Amino acid sequence: MQRHERLIQILDLFSQEKPNWELEEIHAALGHSKSTLYRYLKTLTDAGLLTTFPGRGYSLGSRFVEFDYLIRVTDPLIRLAGPVLTELAEANACVGLLCRRYSDKVLCVFQHTATTEIHSSYERGKARPIFRGAASQVILAHLSAYQLNRLYTPNAASFRDAGLGDDLAAVRQSLGAIRAAGWHATEGQVTPGVVGIAAPLFDERGDITGSFSLTLPAGNVTAEGIHTLGETVADTAQDISQSLRKDPAS
Amino acid sequence: MQRHERLIQILDLFSQEKPNWELEEIHAALGHSKSTLYRYLKTLTDAGLLTTFPGRGYSLGSRFVEFDYLIRVTDPLIRLAGPVLTELAEANACVGLLCRRYSDKVLCVFQHTATTEIHSSYERGKARPIFRGAASQVILAHLSAYQLNRLYTPNAASFRDAGLGDDLAAVRQSLGAIRAAGWHATEGQVTPGVVGIAAPLFDERGDITGSFSLTLPAGNVTAEGIHTLGETVADTAQDISQSLRKDPAS
DNA sequence: TTTAAAATTCTCATATAATGATAAAATTAG
DNA sequence: CTAATTTTATCATTATATGAGAATTTTAAA
C-alpha cells in the first residue's frame, strides 16, 4: 500500500461512535512502529487535521471546522439557493433541503426547518442515501449516460430497490421521465410517512451539481398539492441555476 | 522535505480568494511531475479531501463538510453551552459566542445573534485573533505556566499591543487578575465600539478548553451593566464546566 | 451511439525518502 | 523544581516514491 494512504487511513478511525483515540489505541488498530506512528500523527497534527491535548489522545483538528467554513462561504449554491429555500419552506410549513453532489455522494449542505411535525435529521454534512429519496434521484436523473452506466453496473440491486427499474433500460426510462417532468416526488423512501419533492440544480456549465427540495408529512398534502409544489420547486430551482450561470465561482 | 508534507501542502493552496485550482495551476505552484501530481491528487480525492469535476479543476472535498458535522455533533461544549448561550444572548439582545482552543488557535464554534445593532462576523469555523478580545484573553489567562512561556517568547509584541503587559511578569500579573475575577471584558479590541464579556470553559479534567462570551455595542451598557453581565457569564460558564465533568466525552 | 480528443492511470528502472531501534530532548505532573 | 512521561531526533538499511512514456479511461463532439 502507498505510504500516503497509510497516513490518511488514520483519519478513517474517527467516527461519531469513537471521536477520540489514544496513541496506544491507534497503534493497536493500525500497527505501525511507535516512531512511525508519532511521525504520522505529528504530520497530521501540524496540518491541523488532528488535534491533541496531553492525556486526552487525538481527535479531529481545527482544519475541518475552518475548511467547512471556507466551503460554506464560497459556495454559490448556498448563497443563492439558501434564502429562497428558507422562504419556500416557511411559506409551506415544511423542511427545505439543499443537497450537493460530491462525485459518488450526495450531501446535505443546507437545511431550514419550518415545521415541528417532522424533525429532519439532515443537517449540513449529513450524507443522503444516493439511490433513495427525491433529492438524490433527481441528481441521478441528470448524470451523463457514461456516468450512469458506471454507477449502474455495481449497484443494479440498489436501483431496483429504489424503484427505478429492474434493468438499465428501465432505469434509463424512469430517469428520463424525471428529467422530462423537471421535478420529482417520492414518499417514504428515506423516512416513513414523509414526502420529498425535489428539482435539479445545474452549475454554470449546465452540469448537475445538486438538488433543491422540500420535505413534508404525507398526510398534509394531496396528489394535486404535490403537483403544485413540484412545479414551484422546479421553477425556483431553474431560476437558481440561471443565476449560477451569471455567477463567477462554482 | 517529507513526502507526506508535500502531499498535504496541496491543501494549503485552497483559500477564500481561490477555492478552485486547475491541475496546471497546482503544477505551476508546487512543481511536481505530472505523474506525481496526479498520484497526489488521486490520493487526496479518494480520501474525500478534494473533489473534482471534469473541466472544473479541484476544490475542497466532502470530508471537510462531513467531519465538521461529526465534530459538531460530538462536541459536548456545543451541546451543553449552545442552548444556554442562545438564551442569554436573547435575554440581553446581544451576540453570543462560543470559542474553542485548538492548540495555537482560538476558533468560533458556535454563535447566536439576537440583535441587529452589530453584525458579528464570527460564524463557526472563523478563527479569532489569539491575543485580542475577551473571548481569547480569558483562554490565555488559563494556560499552564509552561505553555504561556512558550507562547510569550515569540509573541511579546502581540501581548503588549493587546494591553496585557510589557514583559512576562506584567503579563502574568494581568492574566492572574483575569483568573481571579472569573470573567473578563474588553472594548474595541476586535471591532471598534463593541464590548466583549467572556468567561473560561474547562474540560472534564479541569483544563482550559474554550470560552463563553457575549458581545454588545459599547453604547448600550454602563460599567455597572458590564459588571452584572460579567458575573452572569462567569456563573453560567462555571455551571457548564461542571456539567462537562459529568459528561463522558470531551 | 460512435469517434476523436483530452484527461488520467499504469508500468518500470532508478534514486530517494521511509522505517524502526535507540538515544536525546521536551513536556507534564506532582 | 524534580522525576516521570511523552515526544522528537539520529542513522544505517530497506522499501517505496518518482518521472518518462505507454496504455487506458473519460469526455465531448458529431
A250/B56 CB distance under 8 A: yes
Q: Indicate if B112 and B8 belong to the same structural domain.
A: no
CA gap A111, A108 in Å, rounded: 7
The cell numbers describing A98, all together, are: 439543499
> What is the per-residue pLDDT for A119?
87
More confident residue, B248 or A70: A70
Q: Indicate if B200 and B130 belong to the same structural domain.
A: yes
Q: Indicate if B154 and B199 belong to the same structural domain.
A: yes
CATH of the domain at A35: 1.10.10.10
Q: Indicate if A114 and A197 belong to the same structural domain.
A: yes
Q: Rg of chain A's alpha carbons, rounded to an integer?
A: 21
Cβ-in-10-Å burial (0-12, 13-18, 19+) of B110 comes to buried
- Cell 458579528 -> residue: B120
Q: pTM for this one? A: 0.95
> What is the per-residue pLDDT for A159?
95
Q: Indicate if A113 and A218 belong to the same structural domain.
A: yes
The cell numbers describing B212, all together, are: 463563553
Indicate the residue of A19, A43, A71 with minimum beta-carbon distance to B74. Answer: A19
Section A126-131 average pLDDT: 94
- Cell 479534567 -> residue: B205
Q: Among B244, B245, B220, B248, which Cα is nearest to B78's?
A: B244
Exposure string of B202-240, with b = 16+ CB inside 10 Å and e = fewer, is bbbeebbbbbbbbbbbeeebeeeebeebbebbbebbbeb
Q: Among A118, A209, A129, A64, which Cα is nearest to B69's?
A: A64
Cβ-in-10-Å burial (0-12, 13-18, 19+) of B2 comes to exposed
**Helix or strand or coil: residue B186?**
strand
Residues of A in contact with B103 (CB under 8 A): 45, 51-53
Q: For A52, what's the count of Cα atoms within 13 Å in the CB-facing half-sphere?
A: 16
Name the pLDDT band for A83 (thresholds 50, 70, 90): very high
Section A23-41 average pLDDT: 94
Q: End of a domain among B15, B45, B66?
A: B66
Indicate the residue of A19, A47, A103 with minimum beta-carbon distance to B249. Answer: A19
Q: Indicate if A38 and A83 belong to the same structural domain.
A: no
Number of residues that this document lists for chain B: 250
> What is the per-residue pLDDT for A250?
45
> What is the per-residue pLDDT for A248?
54
Indicate the residue of A5, A47, A71 with minimum beta-carbon distance to B64. Answer: A71
The cell numbers describing A215, all together, are: 420535505
Tally of domains within chain A = 2
CA gap A191, A128 in Å, rounded: 12
- Cell 471534469 -> residue: B54
Q: Indicate if A110 and A233 belong to the same structural domain.
A: yes
Look up residue A148 and give its amino acid. L
Average pLDDT of chain A, as a whole number: 94
Residues of B in contact with A16 (CB under 8 A): 70, 73-74
C-alpha distance from residue B6 to each of A11, B2, B236 (Å): 18, 7, 45
> What is the per-residue pLDDT for A247?
66
Q: Among B135, B173, B171, which Cα is nearest to B155's?
A: B171
Residues of B in contact with A40 (CB under 8 A): 4
Nucleotide nearest to A146 (CA to C1'): D26
Name the pLDDT band for A207 (thresholds 50, 70, 90): very high
Indicate the residue of A5, A69, A205 with minimum beta-carbon distance to B55. Answer: A205
Q: Indicate if A225 and A179 belong to the same structural domain.
A: yes
B16/A70 CB distance under 8 A: yes
Range of the domain at B48: 3-66
Nearest-Cα distance to chain B for A52, in Å, is 8
Name the pLDDT band for A1 (thresholds 50, 70, 90): low
* B59 membership: H or E segment, kind and range: strand B58-60
Nearest CA in chain B to A19: B74
The cell numbers describing B128, all together, are: 479569532
A14/B63 CB distance under 8 A: no
CB B194 within 8 A of CB B118: yes
Q: Indicate if B108 and B173 belong to the same structural domain.
A: yes
pLDDT exceeds cutoff 90 at A61 = yes
> Using a 7 Å CB cut-off, which residues contact strand D?
A 2-4, 23, 34-35, 38, 41-42, 52, 54, 144, 146-147, 150; B 3, 6, 32-36, 39-40, 54-55
- Protein-covered nucleotides on strand C (Cβ within 7 A): 1, 7-11, 17-22, 27-29
Look up residue A203 and give its amino acid. D
Q: Among B181, B237, B194, B192, which Cα is nearest to B94's?
A: B194
Q: What residues contact residue B146 under an 8 Å CB cut-off, 6+ apart? A: none
CA gap A136, A129 in Å, rounded: 7
Q: Indicate if B219 and B111 belong to the same structural domain.
A: yes
Residue B121 phi/psi, 5° resolution?
Answer: -95, 10
Q: Indicate if A154 and A107 belong to the same structural domain.
A: yes
- Cell 484573553 -> residue: B137
Percent of chain A with pLDDT over 70: 98
Nearest CA in chain B to A1: B43
Name the pLDDT band for B29 (thresholds 50, 70, 90): very high
pLDDT exceeds cutoff 50 at A186 = yes
The cell numbers describing A60, all together, are: 479531529
CA gap B181, B179 in Å, rounded: 6
Q: End of a domain among B66, B89, B113?
A: B66
> What is the per-residue pLDDT for B250?
45
Q: Indicate if B61 and B122 belong to the same structural domain.
A: no
CATH of the domain at B88: 3.30.450.40
Average pLDDT of chain B, as a whole number: 94
Q: What residues contact residue A178 under an 8 Å CB cut-off, 6+ apart? A: A137, A138, A141, A184
Nearest CA in chain B to A8: B47
> What is the per-residue pLDDT for B4?
93
Residues of A in contact with B11 (CB under 8 A): 47, 63, 67
The C-alpha angle A205, A209, A213, rounded to 5 degrees, equals: 130
pLDDT in tens, B145-191: 999 999 999 999 999 999 999 999 999 999 999 999 999 999 999 99
Section A156-182 average pLDDT: 94
> What 3 state SS string does chain A have?
CCHHHHHHHHHHCCCCCCCCECHHHHHHHHCCCHHHHHHHHHHHHHCCCEEECCCCCEEECHHHHHHHHHHHHHCHHHHHHHHHHHHHHHHCCCEEEEEEEECCEEEEEEEEECCCCCCCCCCCCCEECCCCCHHHHHHHCCCCHHHHHHHHHHHHHHHHHCCCCCCHHHHHHHHHHHHHHCCEEEECCCCCCEEEEEEEEECCCCCEEEEEEEEEEHHHCCHHHHHHHHHHHHHHHHHHHHHHHHCCCC
CB B184 within 8 A of CB B138: yes
C10 C1' to B129 CA distance, Å = 48
